[in-house]
Chains A and B, each alone.
Chain A
Amino acid sequence: MSQPELVDEIRAARIVASPELRARVLALATAVPPAPPRRRWSARPTALVLVPAAVAIAIAGALVAGLAGSGRTKRAEPAPAAQPFARDATTAREKATGSGAAGSIPATPGRAQRYESELTLKVASLSAATKRALRLTRSYRGYVRSVDYGSGTGRGSAYLVVRVPVGRVQEAIVAFSALGDIVDQHTSIQDVQPTVDRRFRQMQAIRDVIAKLQARLESPALTADERRALEDRLVAQRRRLVVLQKEQAALLREMSFATVSLSLRSARQAAAAPDRPGRIERALDRSGSILLDELKVAVYVLIVGAPLLVLLALSLAGSRLWRRRVDARLLSR
């Protein structure tokens, strides 16, 4: 019998289930109504949805976090205020950052005060600004204490210390601030009037002593030794008075001028310094770093999890192979 004949005979001899078996199986189906088949998600479409969704969530999360974090700006903490020079001294401090006219604190008229101001300016032309600052100082009847000027290719700075009469210092600071953009400003006022008053009282006391000594020296009843001793004391008091008068005059002269320190930087130098990035740039930068962190975590998980996954896959493949061999052995009988 040939193979086609065998095939035909097998095909012709259909095996039909017995009516008992049919009834038995149908009874099963009718006894317990089967639940309707549910839609199953196979792994591939699920992965096709889940993987892009996870990537989109990671990117969106990074962008949102970056945008939320970009609003917070780190501002440099202001330097701690200088300690007062004396217990009775008053120190005012002002610090302003940004462009615009300088906010200067006025000195109190009629009181001796040490007025010091520091201005840092970004100027377009260093040379022109320095010359203008010197001219302004002279125009306010002030003088230059020191100038440190230096310029090179692409960078330059000048440091000037000028003294301006206290009465015109406010006006001068406003004029100086117009030389360029204010980068930093610091004003310090120390009240030295108590020192002036104390020294004045000491001088008055010495004058009283001198007057009394002069009165005693006019007495004819004094012996030669007593007269010599009184004259020595008188000379000493007069010397002390002269010293105090010189100190008082020097202090008042010093207090009549305010010290203004001008730090001028050329705009090119300032341009060389990295500008503070805008909010979008900061948000993108922050998002990028968050995405990088997420990528690091993903790579870490992959590196740590890959050997485990390989082991799992190998064990699954091994068990499947073993089961197939067992099945093949069972079916070979």
Chain B
Amino acid sequence: MRVLAEVPSFEAVVERHLDDVHGYLVYLTRDRGAAEDLTAETFEKALRSWRRFDPRRGSARTWLLNLARSTALDHFRAEERRRRRERAYAPERREHEDGVFGGLSPALERALAELSAGEREVIALRILLDLDGEAAARVLGISPTACSTRLSRALKKLEERMSADVAA
């Protein structure tokens, strides 16, 4: 007999996964303020589409991370359009602020900040949130093998940056 998956309450989901979603978005955007706004926006979306959530198709965390990714990508698109408009008038100078990733050594902070959003994303999913390969691959929309490759390259790059920083 098929057992129907238990659906948790929305409040419980918020309590349980808010830090995960927020951390993921911090890694993706490397901007605390933007990550907070996107986290709130993600949960707004989650609230609106709560009826569509099906626990049989995946965990609430994966579902929320998918929403967060989509929200972040929308944000990146909007940012790109804005930058394109403003580029002609004032070239952007974005500097990394310390302590964005919370409690990391300054060298690792800088090395992480130098990685691409995609590389930070896979590190956030696999290491920070400790998602398994399959779940992370589902969030990224790629195969588990591609996910492992991406993580391996990101860690290697991170290691290289750290070594270069130490050498400097």
Contact = CB atoms under 8 A, between A and B. Distances in A.
Interface of A: 1-3, 6-7, 9-18, 20-22, 24-26, 28-30, 32, 34-40, 42, 324, 326-328, 330-333
Interface string B103-138: 111011000000011100101000110100000000
Contacts of A12: 103
A14 B102 contact: yes
B26 A15 contact: yes
A328 B44 CA distance: 25
A25 B27 CA distance: 20
Contacts of B27: 15
Contacts of A32: 47
Interface residues of B, number: 51
Given A26-B15, A39-B54, 15 more contacts: A1-B159, A1-B162, A1-B163, A14-B103, A16-B22, A17-B22, A25-B14, A25-B39, A25-B43, A26-B11, A28-B40, A29-B11, A32-B47, A34-B50, A331-B76
Interface in B1-54: 7, 10-11, 14-15, 18-19, 22-23, 26-27, 36, 39-40, 43-44, 47, 50-54
Contacts of B43: 25, 28-29
15 contacts: A1-B166, A6-B155, A6-B159, A15-B26, A17-B36, A21-B36, A25-B43, A28-B47, A34-B50, A35-B51, A37-B50, A37-B54, A324-B141, A331-B73, A331-B121
Contacts of A7: 127, 155
Given A21-B40, A25-B40, A331-B116, A10 B127 contact: yes
B22 A15 contact: yes
A6 B162 contact: yes
Contacts of A1: 107-108, 159, 162-163, 166
A29 B163 CA distance: 45
B50 A40 contact: no
A7 B124 CA distance: 10
A38 B18 CA distance: 23
B158 interface: yes
B142 to A, nearest CB: 9
Top 10 A-B pairs, shortest CB-CB distance:
A331-B118, A15-B23, A13-B103, A34-B50, A17-B22, A331-B117, A330-B76, A15-B102, A34-B10, A25-B43
Contacts of A35: 50-51
B85 interface: no
B117 A330 contact: yes
Nearest to B75: A330
B36 A18 contact: yes
Contacts of A11: 127-128, 130
A193 B107 CA distance: 135
Contacts of B73: 327, 330-331
Given A28-B40, A42-B57, A324-B141, A17 B158 contact: no
A329 to B, nearest CB: 9
Contact of B19 (A14, A37, A330): A14
Contacts of A15: 19, 22-23, 26-27, 101-102, 128
A324 to B, nearest CB: 7
